[in-house]
Structure 1
Amino acid sequence: MGLFYDSTYLLVILAALISMAVSARMNTIFSKYQTVRSYSGMTGREAAMRILHQAGIYDVTVRHVSGKLTDHYDPRTKTVNLSDAVYDSTSVAAIGVAAHECGHAVQHNTDYVPLKVRSAIVPAANLGSQLFWPLFLIGLIFSLPMLVKAGIWLFVLALAFQVVTLPVEFDASRRALKMLSEGGMVTETEHDGVKKVLWAAAMTYVAAVIGSLLQLLRLLVLSGAFRRNDD
């Protein structure tokens, strides 16, 4: 089985290279537009508040959170959480990221189906991501095919969450661009910059799905090696 273990590391390396390349691209684009001041002079927080109010949403709070690119919308607490580089920044990148997170708030407010599905499978996805490898590895070591299969199916649950996340993220970016344009918060030139920032961010989710698909392929190859050695 050692041959299969060695060869599958190529899939791990490929996934890591894709992730690093996409992350580097994201950081480069974000850093570029982080230095470009928006014509409106609005901060990320101000842009978020205006977008929420324009959408008729008054029960969502905009909060500051520490860290870099830690921005997120929490449907449980109805909060748009903006990072250090976004909350008080007047850059084009900051306004774009803030608008994106507001896009999630609008999704929540309108009962956007993919968002509801993603929220519903969070517990199962978390369980799958934590348990798939221990079960799979124990199954291989002790020749227990049922544990091997269980590990694979648990990983599929985690992968399903990532796949459902894609339409949620792309839709939030689409909403963000539309709301910024309709609200007159960005110029035509700035619109292109925001689009680049949001597209680069979306690609990180695509890279994560590709990486997980490669991991699934690795599990299937290893389980095939297990079956052949067990015969």
Structure 2
Amino acid sequence: MIFHPMDFLIFIALGLAMWAQTKVKGNFEKWSKVQATTGLTGAQVARQLLDREGLSHVKIEYSKSGALSDHYDPTAKTVRLSEPVYQGNSIASLAVAAHEVGHAIQDDSKYGMLVLRHKLFPLANIGSQMAPMLFIGGFLLNLTNLIGIGIALFSAAVLFQVVTLPVEFDASKRAKDKMLELGVITNQEEKGVGNVLNAAALTYVASTLMAILQLVKFIMIFRSRR
């Protein structure tokens, strides 16, 4: 329980996740200093993209949760943008705003992986909260079956993260394509948009890798105890 050979790989994945977070902040800061040719703000670009897709009913709200807290809320049909993105007119601001609109477009078109992620969310939420307690209880009480239940619940949380990957990559692709179609960025500015979105996607890859390795570790422990 204290140490396992898989921990070496988990530590590497953790290092990758920390590096990815640093890269996200670095890319956002870099491209936040480059103003988009159109001079439009993130909120304005989001509104134009939504209206072009026939999603005038989707609201855009200012998020007070801090920088990089941008997200799309499918239950409220609302794109929430942080202050630097909502009011900013940089390449970074436009990229993040368009990405969240990409999720709104996915929701409207019933994109398969997004629908699956929504269905997995309740079980994944329970799994991420309950699994650690079941693991600890199983090890302390030497109850292998309890560990097995924890693994089953944690698997749901890991599957949720795996499904999230294509959802995020697809939203980024939609964002770049729609921005070019609408003419809110030039072909030269596309590189900056790609750098911002690719860095963000890397954080999902790193966290998913770490979760998979943790799952493999607990499965190996479970099998050895049986």
User: Which bracket does the TM-score occupy, shorter chain normalised?
Assistant: over 0.9
Unaligned runs of 5+ in 2: none
Cα pair 2:113 2:163 within 8 Å, conserved: yes
| Residue in 2 that maps onto 1:97 | 96
1:189 partner SS: coil
| Residue in 1 that maps onto 2:207 | 208
Distance in 1 between residues matched to 2:186 and 2:88, nearest whole Å: 17
| Residue in 2 that maps onto 1:226 | 225
| Residue in 1 that maps onto 2:27 | 29
| Residue in 2 that maps onto 1:70 | 69
Query: Structure 2 vs 1, CA of residues 179 and 105 (structure 1 numbering), >3 Å: closer, same or farther?
Result: same
Shift in Å, 1:84: 1.6
Distance in 2 between residues matched to 1:106 and 1:7, nearest whole Å: 43
Give 2:123's aligned amino acid.
A
Shift in Å, 1:141: 1.5
Cα pair 2:20 2:206 within 8 Å, conserved: yes
Computed over aligned residues only, the root mean square deviation of the Cα atoms, in angstroms, reads: 1.4
Distance in 2 between residues matched to 1:134 and 1:222, nearest whole Å: 16
Shift in Å, 1:10: 2.7
Shift in Å, 1:214: 1.5
2:220 partner SS: helix
Aligned length: 225
| Residue in 2 that maps onto 1:177 | 176
Shift in Å, 1:222: 2.9
| Residue in 1 that maps onto 2:106 | 107
Shift in Å, 1:221: 3.3
| Residue in 2 that maps onto 1:19 | 17
Shift in Å, 1:223: 2.5
Cα pair 2:106 2:171 within 8 Å, conserved: yes
Q: TM-score, normalised by structure 2?
A: 0.95
2:61 partner SS: strand
Shift in Å, 1:15: 2.5
Distance in 2 between residues matched to 1:198 and 1:226, nearest whole Å: 43
Cα pair 1:140 1:226 within 8 Å, conserved: no
Distance in 1 between residues matched to 2:12 and 2:170, nearest whole Å: 28
Q: TM-score, normalised by structure 1?
A: 0.93
1:60 to 58, 61, 65: 58
Shift in Å, 1:70: 0.4
Unaligned runs of 5+ in 1: none
Shift in Å, 1:8: 4.6
Residue-by-residue CA offset, 1:36-65 (whole Å, 9 max, x unaligned): 000000000000000000111111000011
- When structure 1 is superposed on structure 2, of 28-37 and 13-22 the one drifting more is 13-22
Give 2:54's aligned amino acid.
G
State percent identity of aligned pairs: 41
2:188 partner SS: helix
| Residue in 1 that maps onto 2:44 | 46
- When structure 1 is superposed on structure 2, of 110-119 and 214-223 the one drifting more is 214-223
1:197 partner SS: helix
Cα pair 1:65 1:71 within 8 Å, conserved: yes
